[in-house]
Amino acid sequence: MSKTIIISNRLPLQISLEDSNLEVTPSVGGLATGLKSFHKDGDSIWIGWSGLTEEEIPENLLDDVKEKARKEDCVAVNLSEEEIDGFYYGFSNRTIWPLFHYFMEYTEADKDHWETYKSVNRKYADEVLKHYEDGDHIWVHDYQLLLVPNMIREKQPEAIIGFFNHIPFPSYEVFRTLPWRDEVLEGVLGADLIGFHTYDYERHFLSSVSRILRHQVNFNEITLPERIVKVDSFPMGIDYNKFEAAAQNHFKNTEEQRTELQRRLDHHSNETPEAKLILSIDRLDYTKGIANRIRAFEYFLDNHPEFIEKVRLVMLAVPSRSNVPQYQRLKREIDELVGRINGKFSTVSWTPIWYFYRSMPFENLIDLYTSCDIALLTPIRDGMNLVAKEFVATRINQTGVLILSEMAGAAHEMNEALIINPNNFEQISQTLIQAIEMPIEEQQQRNKTLQKRLKRYSVEKWANDFMKALHNTSQDRDAFKATRISSKVSGEILEKFKNAKNRILFLDYDGTLVNFTDKPEKAKPDQELIDLVHKLNQSENTDVVLISGRDKDTLGSWWQEIPVELISEHGVWMRQKDSEWELSENVNNDWMSAVRPVIETFVDRTPGTFIEDKNYSLAWHYRKADPELGEIRANELSNVLKELISNRGLSVLEGNKVLEIKSSGVNKGKASNKKLVGKDYDFIFAIGDDWTDEYMFEELPEESFTVKVGMKKTSARYYIEDTSKVRDILKDFAENS
Ligand code: ADP
Ligand code: G6P
């Protein structure tokens, strides 16, 4: 039976050494806590780091570490201290983490860290490959493993791979500053499905892919030469029932069963029943806005001294990534701030901030969630923020107020919370007052709606939705009719070619025999191509027809020396072997003067676009335009033109980053079929890459070998990845004719 392979930097369990014994504790952080229940309930293995470096694990405990992981269906990846330094503390947390959270000033670009990141990603991918069996679903997680999807794909091209990014994806303007941006995007694009918490992260990613790699993006699909990649947003939920049940049990605790922390909290509310507890829980991370929160609290007390002794901020900061200098500096800053503010406002019986810098067991988290009146979560940037959701889930009597930064992914789904800008102290201060004074009914009304949503979109639903979407991508793959020209398939076609008595090859030019260039005139045939076409053209019983949308003068001049048959402008002109151009259709160009000015207005408004004049058609190229603007304008122009040319016997062809206006009666299907008249071909081969070639694929006889270049929607029977593969198959023909 197929299984799911989950892979993330950290395992959900962390192993540490206590007096030469192995201790197992749960990992903190949204990824591990969120996914744990999905892993527990399903048929899956989880591959990740155990928390101990190779150097730290004594030889005699190596097997124990493996065993501890195995018991939880986990596989520990061994990493050395040097690898952890370069990969985890280095590239992951000094480059990607700050950059993706818009902390550009903290972002380092260290080549050695990058090299280690690559080699450690390879290590993770290799571990997956060791456990992979046909039919398994692979689910790669987060920014530490951006290269893993493609590393797996290279070895297992048919694997079903999903990737989920748990942190924000920054805007293109920020992402483009990364020196290794191409490699990072290519790494992620190894997946079939890429998930983000919010639509904003999704569109930032799509925009980077289309601008940096120039891949075609249609809504949420990216077309690669050999595959289609889907991108979607799946806001991560929590294990709602677990938090709700924990809160229910918490209230059943007897006096003796209460934790030490709970007793302190109870003492506080008994002593000062009117005073409100304001809670914050985060990893100690600069993205969480902890320093800002304390300053905002100071601003609040400065401006509203009536709340002195009436509120207390309970802050839990969980130690995190303490080898990274920014985190060490942050730790010092928070210590100082807490000290200063407590010094400034404390009274004999009251300190404004209770600060805990440690990791706490789950039951203490529940103590805090259930005992505080207000949660104040103020990240500067946060992919999601599960703490916000956990706080709401534990409020079983539906009281309590959540104040949440609009910069957290969770804010998109939690409209009933009080949403604030973490940099606006005045707003935070006013919102604190609103929260303190909020009537119980209003609190309950807000929480009721929030809880309903959180319960429905739980982590289980999140994981199932993702896996379902991933599974669908594999079905879409199967539904794609065209067969890939693998070496086996190309061998079969070659056999048919060899045995045929009369062959004809229709070869599209741009995007098929040569790659696209920024300017059409740059795509001149290279010597290898000229020799190849020449050789094919000299083969016995083989007619070679270059069939293109190009104008006859350009095509004619490029192929002047080679007496190959040419069809230009989609069929307007034909040049037979060793003869002159003939106008093959009854076409005219008197419409051009009316249409040209309209296209010119689009050229003026869309930088990077231009008009190509052909004898009987006009083409508007937008390959060099900003990809998003280009698509929008192409749609607009297509609509305008269709209206303008209706009843004029003209049509608009939508090619690969080009719109072309020409006579309706002319297309490559008609032109290629004309060549078949009067001759008995027993091998017909047609190859092309864009919509204009679809006419050939549709109109040529059914038994023809029709081939699309690139994995796009097509009527062709086969597809081939790229132009270099096209040349390979043509070379095979040339050598075997
Ligand atoms: P991040 O993923 O950036 O750390 P989130 O708010 O999304 O932030 O997730 C934090 C997760 O870590 C929550 O599920 C929370 O319950 C958990 N957590 C926080 N503090 C502790 C702690 N002391 N012990 C165990 N889990 C914790
Ligand atoms: C965030 C990241 C996770 C990471 C967690 C804890 O949630 O998205 O990938 O595991 O923080 O950080 P750490 O560096 O301790 O694993």
Residue 135 to residue 470: CA distance in whole angstroms: 12
**Cα dihedral angle (301, 306, 311, 312), rounded to 10 degrees?**
40
pLDDT in tens, 448-491: 999 999 999 999 999 999 999 999 998 877 777 789 999 999 99
Catalytic residue among 142, 239, 285, 508: 508
CB 398 within 8 A of CB 444: yes
CA distance 170 to 184: 13
What are the strands, taking DSSP E only, across 212-344?
216-218, 221-223, 228-233, 276-283, 311-318
Of 44, 33, 43, nearest in space to 10 by CA:
33
The ligand that comes nearest to the alpha carbon of residue 364 is: 1
Distance separating alpha carbons of residues 256 and 263, to the nearest angstrom: 10
pLDDT of residue 646: 76
Cα–Cα distances in angstroms (integers) from residue 299 to residues 62, 205, 426, 559, 611, in the given order:
53, 37, 8, 77, 60
Per-residue pLDDT, 206:
95
Contact 453, 410 (CB under 8 A): no
Closest residue by CA, ligand 1 atom 18: 28
Token readout for 481 is 């009719």
Q: Is 134 helix (H, G, I), strand (E, B) or coil?
A: coil
Structural domains for the chain: 4-79+132-233 (3.40.50.2000), 240-449 (3.40.50.2000), 483-585+666-735 (3.40.50.1000), 592-662 (3.90.1070)
Residue nearest atom 16 in ligand 1 by C-alpha distance: 387
Q: Model confidence over 673-730: pLDDT tens digits? A: 999 998 999 999 999 998 889 999 999 999 999 999 988 778 999 999 999 999 999 9
> Which atom of ligand 1 is found nearest the CA of 360?
23
Beta strand pairing status for 216-218 and 658-663?
unpaired
* DSSP-based three-state secondary structure for 554: helix
Distinct helix (H) and strand (E) counts, the chain: 26, 30
The pLDDT of residue 586: 65
Strand order in the sheet with 650-654: 610-613, 618-621, 658-663, 650-654
How many whole angstroms from 151 Cα to the centroid of ligand 1? 30
Best mutation site among 14, 31, 36 for ligand 2 pocket (most ligand atoms within 8 Å of CB): 31
Ligand having the closest approach to the CA of 359: 1
Q: How far is the CA of 29 from the centre of ligand 1 (A)?
A: 4
Neighbours of 84 (CB within 10 A): 22
Rounded CA gap, 65 and 185, in Å?
34
Measured in Å, residue 201 CA sits from the centre of ligand 2 at 18
Q: Distance between CA 220 and CA 229 in Å, rounded?
A: 8
| Strand residues in 369-489 grouped as ranges (E) | 374-377, 401-405, 418-420, 483-484
Q: Euclidean distance between the first and final Cα of the chain, in Å?
A: 48
Instruction: Provide residues with CB under 6 Å of ligand 2.
Output: 9-10, 29-32, 142, 166-167, 320-321
Task: Please tell me the distance between residue 625's alpha carbon and the centre of ligand 2 in angstroms.
Answer: 38
Digit-coded pLDDT (tens) for 241-281:
999 999 999 999 998 999 999 999 999 888 888 899 999 99
Residues (pLDDT < 50) of the chain are none
Which atom belonging to ligand 2 lies closest to the Cα atom of 383?
Answer: 8
**Residue to probe by mutation, ligand 2, list 10, 33, 124, 381, most atoms within 8 Å of CB:** 10
How far, in Å, from the CA of 673 to the mean position of ligand 2?
61
Of all protein residues, the one whose alpha carbon is nearest to atom 6 of ligand 2 is 29
Helix (H) or strand (E) holding 34: helix 30-41
> Is the Cα torsion angle 721, 726, 731, 736 positive or negative in sign?
positive
pLDDT at 38: 84
Residue located nearest, by CA, to atom 12 of ligand 2? 29
Active site residue 192: no
Atom of ligand 2 lying closest to residue 320 CA: 15
Tokens 């002593």, residue?
271
CA–CA dist 27, 39 (Å, integer): 14
Helices 240-252 and 440-456, packing angle to 10 deg: 130
Query: What's the gap in Å between 64 CA and the centre of ligand 2?
Result: 25
